[in-house]
Amino acid sequence: METHILFFVAAVAAGLINSMAGGGGLITFPLLTLFVPPVVADATSALALLPAYPSAVWRTRAKLSEVPRRWLWLLLVPSVLGSLVGALLLIWTADRNFMFLVPWLVLGGTVLFVLESRLSPVVTAPPMGTAASRRRCGRSRRRSCSWWPSTADTSGRASAS
């Protein structure tokens, strides 16, 4: 009975975390590996957290409306292909190999999370030649424009590095 309560509380907490910031699987996966094989635990965790994804999209719909539709469709293809490849690798990989990879995958996710504030300005930079890039970089004809906050002054124009 205590196990069921623990799973319920963990599932609710993971769902909340996943809908707000992602990473809820870091709660459910380790808990499930105590009772079932790792590959089964990963698949169960992913399926259990599936309802949190639509709520996360709903919560960020205002930001998504700013993204050009063609980018959403362009990013959909690698996302679906990556998911399929990941699922096939999960099926074909033995539990031992999977357990070897998990800490490295978690480390990679953690590094990306920590570096997000540094990577975000690069990813969200407007394309060169657009009105937004001219406002950000000034009207210079330079081919490159630094998006890192530490190299731009307060006027929004890139400083000469």
pTM of the model: 0.58
Task: Fill in the DSSP letter of residue 126.
Answer: P
pLDDT at position 49, please?
80
The 10 Å Cβ neighbour count of residue 67 is: 11
Distance CA(56)–CA(61), nearest Å, equals 9
Whole-number Å distance between alpha carbons of 156 and 138 = 8
Q: Would residue 25 be called left, alpha or beta, if left means φ above 0 and alpha means ψ between -120 and 50 degrees?
A: alpha
pLDDT, one tens digit for every residue, the chain (161 residues): 788 898 889 888 888 887 777 778 888 888 888 888 888 888 888 888 888 778 778 888 888 888 888 888 888 899 899 889 988 888 888 788 888 888 888 888 788 878 888 877 665 555 555 555 555 555 444 444 444 344 444 444 444 44
How far is the C-alpha of 24 from the C-alpha of 63, rounded, in Å?
A: 22
Q: Cα separation of 109 and 21, whole Å?
A: 12
Q: What is the pLDDT of residue 81?
A: 94
Q: What is the structure's pLDDT at 122?
A: 61
